[in-house]
Structure 1
Amino acid sequence: LTEVFTFFQDKDKNVVSVKDIPTIIRTLGLVPSEAEMRKTVAAMLGDESADTVHLAAFLTIAKKLILDRRFPGSNKEEVGRALAVLAKEGRNYLEETHPKPESKGGVYGDGKKTVFRPAGSLSREDLLRLLTCEGEALTQDEAEELILSLPMKDSDLVDLDQYAAQLVPPAPFL
């Protein structure tokens, strides 16, 4: 715990900025909500209204959080199930798209094309849309950068099992 704290500390003064506490807590493998994080920071500050947290206060609270197994986060299976919902519930599925006509002549049938996506995958395009339009949306550049680091089954499909493994934080230590 001390080693993680000292990585962020301010010039050997045994204090870190309050702004760094969420990063430190998450580095330890804990995954509190924003409200829980505010309470944790407040507990570390005590009655002070300071901009820094002292090592002793951090150690007291962080040890208790870890020993009490607070804020454990999700396991790989839970994250995998959540990603599977985004990938049409993890089943093989058919998706209808509207391709551009290849000739000036009429479009064969109703102009729709059926696309097969394997189970356990999410298209790059769908993930990009979700990252930039849903929840705490990322910018287009942030989403593109994230997608470059993802495990891909081929050029267009994210491997959800491997992605879930990347998203799960390490187990807390102590």
Structure 2
Amino acid sequence: MAEEKEAAEALVSDLQKRITEAFEVFDHENNKTVDVREIGTIIRSLGCCPTEGELHDMLAEVEEEEPTGYIRFEKFLPMMTKVLLERRYRPIPEDVLLRAFEVLDEKNKGFLTKDELLKYMTEEGEPFTQEEIEEMISASVHPDNNIVPYKEYIAMMVVEDY
């Protein structure tokens, strides 16, 4: 029983250290606050992939009653610790991502063209923002031949489990 408690405490301590380190990267003034617009990046760097709606809910939980545009570490740490302990907003598993790309790759070429990717991102499902489109294109499209070798791209996207 004591060993389980120690293991749990060690896990919480490790998670809080990771959260602190991620937060501090964006705490440019070293005053235990970050710009609210950076929170999504911090959360994703910790291996969570919330939707925009879920991210909005998380921000509502840690924002001040009077929004200041900044999030305080003392409010972020307990919320994020709980999220990580509950393993919420886990990324989609590698095999599911691969199957999704294979469905889009109707001719089974092993890649999508830049144009195909743009078409899917703008005409199918929930629309991406221009910033998201540009970010994905720069991360996924091979600069020499304008294709997305999706098996390589998926391997790059996979987040290490904790």
Q: By the TM > 0.5 criterion, same fold?
A: yes
Of 112, 115, 136, the match for 1:122: 112
Q: 1:151 to 1:77 in 2, by over 3 A?
A: farther
Partner of 1:158: 148
1:20-46: CA deviations, max 9, x gaps?
111111111100111111111111125
Q: Is 1:52 the equivalent of 2:52?
A: no
CA distance in 2, matches of 1:171, 1:66: 13
Aligned-residue sequence identity (percent) comes to: 29
Partner of 1:83: 101
Q: Is 1:42 the equivalent of 2:60?
A: yes
Identify the structure with the greater helix proportion: 2
Secondary structure (helix, strand or coil) at the match of 2:47 reads: coil
Of 137, 140, 154, the match for 1:146: 137
Partner of 2:4: none
Partner of 1:171: 160
For these two proteins, the number of residue pairs brought into alignment is 141
Q: Structure 2: state its 5+ residue gaps.
A: 1-18
Q: Structure 1: state its 5+ residue gaps.
A: 94-116
Question: CA offset at residue 138 of structure 1?
Answer: 4.3
Letter in 2 for 1:166: M
Aligned-pair RMSD on alpha carbons? Answer: 2.9
Question: CA offset at residue 123 of structure 1?
Answer: 3.2
Identify the structure with the greater strand proportion: 1
Q: Is 1:23 the equivalent of 2:15?
A: no
Alpha carbons 1:2, 1:59 under 8 Å: kept: yes
